[in-house]
Structure 1
Amino acid sequence: MHSSSRTSTAARRLAAADPAGMIYGAIVSAAAMATVSLHTDQAQRVAIGTGVVLAIYWLADLYVHALSVRFDGDSRGLVRRLVHAAGHKASVLKGGVPTIAAYLVTYVLVRDVSVAAYTALGVTIVLLIIAGYLGARQAGSPERAAVVEGFGAGLLGVLVVVAKSLLH
């Protein structure tokens, strides 16, 4: 398969998977991990703390969606609106999984909370770059502009790393 057709296929798959939710999940999990890893040297606490913050963000996102559809005239009860939102907003949780998984795998290999956290943040930056690049290519941007947009998206992750470094 040609490189541009692989890029197009990847961009279409990402577009179908709710990229906004996935990007939010990745950024929330990275920010949570950067913060939690500053306060403990217990790997399990970092992973669980990050997961809990991601889950709370997801629940808040569900509620915001369930509330906002009321203004569009949705007359269903709260539970039905939340269940409906949960199906559409699962991408937030999926977006946080790579950060947490990278952290756990790295920790198992090196047994260092800080190294594992920075590695997971690096993985998040790469994923943000890829998402930005694929989104730009899906929109028809030329290669160079897509690369610039990809690196622009990655800057969000870099800000998290800088914040972690400054707070440490």
Structure 2
Amino acid sequence: MRTALRPHHLRWTGERDLAHAIYGTVVGTAAMATAGAHRTLGGTVATVLVTVAVYWVAERYADALAAAVRGPDRRARIGRALRQGWPTIEAACAPPVVLVAFVLVTGDLRAGVVVALAVSTVMLSALGHAAAKHAGATRLVAVGCATGSAVLGVVVILLKTFLH
């Protein structure tokens, strides 16, 4: 319970957690960028959450299936496989929360999507930096990883720009 109440940046300390958080942020951001065709807040948020959930379930299913075919202790391995990857969902929820808050205050969905995509890009940069530092990278390498992760967000913003 204590772990669940800790802020995300304190919970996502392992390499796998950070990788899942980056993955969830990218998938959620890409879904948000393409969901602009809905032209409703509810449709956009639902698209993001359902898309991330489908990706998460598919990844967990694949891991559980792989765990099930290996020797003894199958149940324990399947249980671990199903519990892993939760940062994918957690990280993907932050941009839709920003979107909803922005739209409730301003009423502007298009601007809200842009703001949420910008927040996603900042998140990706921070997650890339945290992953590099966790791996023991130098400051310069950590900055490079932060930049590389932020580029993923920029690519998604460009995708949105060219799609709409």
TM-score range, shorter chain: 0.7 to 0.9
Letter in 2 for 1:35: T
Residue 42 (structure 2) aligns with? 44
What TM-score results when the alignment is normalised by the length of structure 2? 0.84
Residue 64 (structure 2) aligns with? 66
Residue 158 (structure 2) aligns with? 162
Q: Is the 8 A contact 2:21 2:127 kept in 1?
A: no
Q: Give SS of 2:137's match.
A: coil
Question: Post-superposition shift, 1:110?
Answer: 1.7
Q: Which runs of 4+ in 1 moved over 6 A?
A: none
Structure 2 runs not aligned, ≥5 long = 1-7
Q: Is the 8 A contact 1:11 1:138 kept in 2?
A: no
- Residues 26 and 11 of structure 1, relative CA distance in 2, 3 Å threshold: closer
Letter in 2 for 1:156: L
User: Residues 40-60 of structure 1: CA distance to partner in whole angstroms, max 9, x if unpaired?
Assistant: 211111111111111111111
Alignment of structure 1 residues 117-132 onto 2, 5 Å: 117-132=113-128
Question: Post-superposition shift, 1:97?
Answer: 1.1
Measured in 1, the distance between the counterparts of 2:10 and 2:42 equals 35
- Residues 90 and 141 of structure 1, relative CA distance in 2, 3 Å threshold: closer
User: Residues 42-82 of structure 1: CA distance to partner in whole angstroms, max 9, x if unpaired?
Assistant: 111111111111111111111111112234336747xx93x
